[in-house]
């Protein structure tokens, strides 16, 4: 039914236009001139093979900051959403209990060292007494055992001091990486639990990763390039950008393909020194191939849509606009690849295509290069040159 409806619609439009033209012809004695359009020859060029995907920006390093000791938050020492350096203090936990614990541990260590010193002296005296048989061997062995026990007590006390000192250091919660700190999830005065309470997050800024799902061709191509010692180039564009202005490389392909979707997770790495990327951003990804292939390119302004079909008008015999249904590919330098429907040498109507109301309609073409802007209007009394003619030739005035 659709072809019949389109044919009837075309016939109706043609009848309306011809009726209007007939009335004008009757009034002025001549047919109205055909509309002026710009035509460009289909561009044939070798382009690199590539595929496009959608992905997400992720930080190379993401750290969830949790405290190592419990206590009350005494101070928040950073500006939320700002960059921090590795080792910067983000939060300060009340240090007074931990200072007291360190002092107690140091006192215990001092007492243990004093006891160990006394045990060493007693062991030395016992050795002298044993030589003159003033004490028994059993008594001497007891002195040796006491000395070893007190020496072990010194080691335990010193370990307790080290642990107390670490806990005191942990009251200053520092950033383990350089990056951008997030919102403070706990503010001053709140009680936090060691290893459980989330304080904030820190993400690294450069480089960043772009994760995307590719098909089996991605895996096969990357594996082939890896065997050749080369790497896939990746070009990335954000939602507000034209094209793919950011260049990176494919540095990771997962170890198995998802049998349910037939895709494999891949990752590209990008430099982010200018801070253009933030984790979570949507990204358009173009995976560049190593080989090139011949392609036909047209200006996207020439492409029209008829429900789910794409088509263009080409210049036919007697300067008539002929419809060609096409299949589009990717974008290359502002032009669209045409996979099927056109041939090299075809002249496509690029500018003024909205003036073509039905296939077979006569037009007044002016030749331009594919991708050029529309030509400036000719001065009054000077006609547009015909397609195939030089710009120094003119046709009869259209007025």
What is the tens place of the pLDDT at every residue in 25-42? 445 556 678 899 999 999
Three-state DSSP class for residue 337: strand
- Tens digits of per-residue pLDDT, 68-100? 999 999 999 999 999 999 999 999 999 999 999
Q: What is the DSSP letter of 369?
A: -
Q: Which residues contact 227 (CB under 8 A, 6 or more apart)?
A: none
Model confidence at 207: pLDDT above 60:
yes
Number of Cβ within a 10 Å radius of residue 119: 21
pLDDT value of position 379: 46
Q: What is the DSSP letter of 376?
A: P
Query: Looking at residues 163-178, what average pLDDT do you find?
Result: 96
The least confident of 27-41, 256-270, 329-343, 376-390 is 376-390
DSSP per position, 1-58:
-HHHHHHHHHHHHHHHHHHHHHHHHHHHSSPPPPPEEEEEEPEEEEEEEEEEEEEEEE
182: which 2 tokens?
């997030």
pLDDT value of position 389: 44
The least confident of 38-42, 70-74, 239-243, 380-384 is 380-384
Distance of alpha carbon 383 from the chain centroid: 51
Instruction: Please state, in angstroms and rounded to a whole number, the distance separating the CA atoms of residues 366 and 387.
Output: 5
Give me the helix-helix angle, 96-131 and 137-170, nearest 10°: 160
Report the sign of the C-alpha dihedral through residues 146, 147, 152, 156, in that order: positive
Number of Cβ within a 10 Å radius of residue 116: 21
Instruction: Please state, in angstroms and rounded to a whole number, the distance separating the CA atoms of residues 91 and 80.
Output: 12
The least confident of 9-13, 246-250, 278-282, 322-326 is 9-13
Three-state DSSP class for residue 63: strand
Instruction: Please state, in angstroms and rounded to a whole number, the distance separating the CA atoms of residues 156 and 68.
Output: 22
pLDDT value of position 290: 59
Instruction: Please state, in angstroms and rounded to a whole number, the distance separating the CA atoms of residues 6 and 303.
Output: 18
pLDDT value of position 82: 93
Angle, alpha carbons 81-84-85 (nearest 5°): 165
Query: Looking at residues 100-109, what average pLDDT do you find?
Result: 96
Residue 207 preceded by cis peptide, ω within 30? yes
pLDDT over 90, % of the chain: 50
What is the band of 11 on the pLDDT scale with cuts at 50, 70, 90?
A: very low
What is the band of 17 on the pLDDT scale with cuts at 50, 70, 90?
A: very low
pLDDT value of position 73: 96
Number of Cβ within a 10 Å radius of residue 317: 6
Model confidence at 394: pLDDT above 80:
no
pLDDT value of position 63: 96
Query: Looking at residues 10-32, what average pLDDT do you find?
Result: 50
pLDDT value of position 93: 97
What is the band of 125 on the pLDDT scale with cuts at 50, 70, 90?
A: confident
pLDDT value of position 78: 95
Whose structure tokens read 């370990």? 159
**Contact between residue 175 and residue 65 where contact means Cβ atoms under 8 Å apart:** yes
Which has the higher per-residue pLDDT, 149 or 48? 149
Instruction: Please state, in angstroms and rounded to a whole number, the distance separating the CA atoms of residues 187 and 92.
Output: 11
Model confidence at 229: pLDDT above 60:
yes
Q: What is the DSSP letter of 300?
A: G
129: which 2 tokens?
């007494």
């Amino acid at each position: 039914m659709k072809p019949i409806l389109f044919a009837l619609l075309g016939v109706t439009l043609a009848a309306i236009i011809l009726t209007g033209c007939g009335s004008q012809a009757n009034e002025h004695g001549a047919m109205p001139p055909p509309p002026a359009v710009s035509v460009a020859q289909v561009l044939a060029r070798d382009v690199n093979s590539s595929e496009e995907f959608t992905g997400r920006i992720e930080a190379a390093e993401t750290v969830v900051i949790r405290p190592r000791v419990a206590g009350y938050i005494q101070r928040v020492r950073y500006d939320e959403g700002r960059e921090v350096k590795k080792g910067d203090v983000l939060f300060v936990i009340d240090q007074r209990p931990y200072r007291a614990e360190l002092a107690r541990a140091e006192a215990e260590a001092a007492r243990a060292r004093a006891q160990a010193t006394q045990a060493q002296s007693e062991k030395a005296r016992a050795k002298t007494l044993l030589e003159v048989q003033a004490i028994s061997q059993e008594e001497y062995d007891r002195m040796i055992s006491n000395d070893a026990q007190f020496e072990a007590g010194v080691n335990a006390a010193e370990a307790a001091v080290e642990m107390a000192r670490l806990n005191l250091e942990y009251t200053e919660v520092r950033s383990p990486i350089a990056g951008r700190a997030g919102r403070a999830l706990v503010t001053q005065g709140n009680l936090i639990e060691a290893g459980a309470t989330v304080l904030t997050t820190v993400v690294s800024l450069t480089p960043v990763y772009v994760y995307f799902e590719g098909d089996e061709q991605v895996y096969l191509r990357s594996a082939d390039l890896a065997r050749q010692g080369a790497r896939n180039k990746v070009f990335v564009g954000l939602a507000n950008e034209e094209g793919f202005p950011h260049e990176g490389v494919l540095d990771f392909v997962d170890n198995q393909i998802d049998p349910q979707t037939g895709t494999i997770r891949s990752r590209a790495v990008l430099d982010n020194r200018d801070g253009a990327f933030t984790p979570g951003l949507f990204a358009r990804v173009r995976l560049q191939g190593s080989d090139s292939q011949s392609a036909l390119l047209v200006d996207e302004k020439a492409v029209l849509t008829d429900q789910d079909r794409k088509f263009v008008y080409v210049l036919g015999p007697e300067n008539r606009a002929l419809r060609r249904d096409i299949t589009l590919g990717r974008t290359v330098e502002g032009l669209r690849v045409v996979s099927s429907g056109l041939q090299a040498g075809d002249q496509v109507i690029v500018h003024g295509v909205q003036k073509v109301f039905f296939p077979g309609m006569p037009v007044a073409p002016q030749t331009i290069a594919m991708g050029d802007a529309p030509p400036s209007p000719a001065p009054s009394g000077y006609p547009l040159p015909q397609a195939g003619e030089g710009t120094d030739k003119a046709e009869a005035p259209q007025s």
